[in-house]
Structure 1
């Protein structure tokens, strides 16, 4: 059964007299608890899809559903609540509040949602039990990204949206972060959607959606995803 559905979704941008379709009749579905990778070259429309699903942008045509709720019909007030309660975001750059500790950054997210997870427990689960009182400047890039993931998970969201989450990290740290995301999917039954340009990551996903020039070029289901430790790029 589909948990996330895009049906003929279009998003247009106007530059002078020219109209550019960042999303051009995009259709796909993702099951609950799946680890999904949306892959494609830079400028293909991947982030546009993620922003529409996350309620940060709206589509001009088509239908977007999450757990049978029609996201594409929501007004601004409903979208604000949707972003607050249902969606966890992890970005390439960690977007942490620099003058708050790791714990306080996570608490900030847990205080704005309806059914949060305990911040201390979530930080332990991402391997930062000993670093809760450190400020972002005292943490490595990988540790800061772990705080960002903990912040997203503390909201207990329905979906976790990750936009190039390893883009600012070195190879081995990036692998560690991807393993953490894969483990969150498996151990917490979270629907995790990762946007990347790196084709080599696709074997770790349950579902791969290829986007090119604003269109879905193909979708693959993988019945035997492999651990990220076995992937090299």
Structure 2
């Protein structure tokens, strides 16, 4: 079985008298170690799917399977453990604690998981060996995002979920961050899912899942992903 499987997943939200179908019968699969991009315009259902995959939300119907575990049957206690031990999150905004150094921010993740990686070593891997004692206010946006990626990687997660990870960054820094995520996926054999509205980055992915109005409009498997450095947008 594929590493990530969604089968006919539905999620509705009530907004006053109106019911909004955020996700309307979505099915797709992602293989272990793939770099997958879920792309679509605002309101397509991308964040809802990411939240369901990350155990931050539940679906109304359908099945969600990660690493042969049907997480859509989990109660809240099991979902908490799943979020804590199995998932790494990288968001558009870095969510760093300003009173802690880069190293201390990464070490936070190590306190809540079972088999953490060494925080200093992970910071070195993301290119911040000489910045680990700096506070977030002393770091650029790209460096802060590297710290947040290091924090996610230090958990040694089975699945890395990235929600518009370059949304707050300039073009050049954004490319560096995407390159770092692509290389992390390759070197660690980690399954990485990036959600974005930016169609231009899809050539870097092994698998592209296109969403429109809560449905999958297309799935593209790319046998020869393009290195980020060669992509322009």
TM-score per shorter chain, which class?
over 0.9
Q: For residue 59 of structure 2, what is the aligned residue in structure 1?
A: 59
State the match for 1:93 in structure 2.
93
Instruction: Give 1:85 shift.
Output: 0.4
TM (norm. structure 1) is 0.99
Q: CA RMSD in A?
A: 0.6
Structure 1 residue 204: deviation in Å?
Answer: 0.3
Worse-superposed segment, 15-24 or 62-71: 15-24
Deviations 1:118-144 (A, max 9, x none): 101100000000000000000000000
Equivalent-residue separation in structure 2 for 1:165 and 1:16 (angstroms): 32
TM-score of the pair, normalised by structure 2: 0.99
Deviation (angstroms), 1:9: 0.4
What pairs with 1:108-123 in structure 2 (closer than 5 Å)? 108-123=108-123
Alignment partner, residue 172 of structure 1: 172
Partner residue, 1:207: 207
In the TM superposition, 1:72-87 aligns within 5 A as 72-87=72-87
Match of 1:146 in 2: 146
**CA–CA separation in structure 2 for the residues paired with 1:77 and 1:91:** 23
Residue 212 (structure 1) shift: 0.4
Report the Cα distance in structure 2 between the residues aligned to 1:29 and 1:46, rounded to whole angstroms.
15
Q: Which runs of 5+ in 2 are unaligned?
A: none
- Counterpart position of 1:69: 69
Q: CA deviation at 1:17?
A: 2.5
- The residue that corresponds to 1:185 in the other structure is 185
Partner of 2:131: 131
Name the SS for the 2:131 alignment partner: coil
Deviations 1:95-149 (A, max 9, x none): 0011000000000001110011110110000000000000000000000000000
Q: Which moved more, 1:15-24 or 1:117-126?
A: 15-24
* Stretches of structure 1 lacking an aligned partner (at least 5 in a row): none
Segments of 4+ in structure 1 off by > 4 A? none
- Single out whichever of 178-187 and 7-16 deviates more from structure 2: 7-16
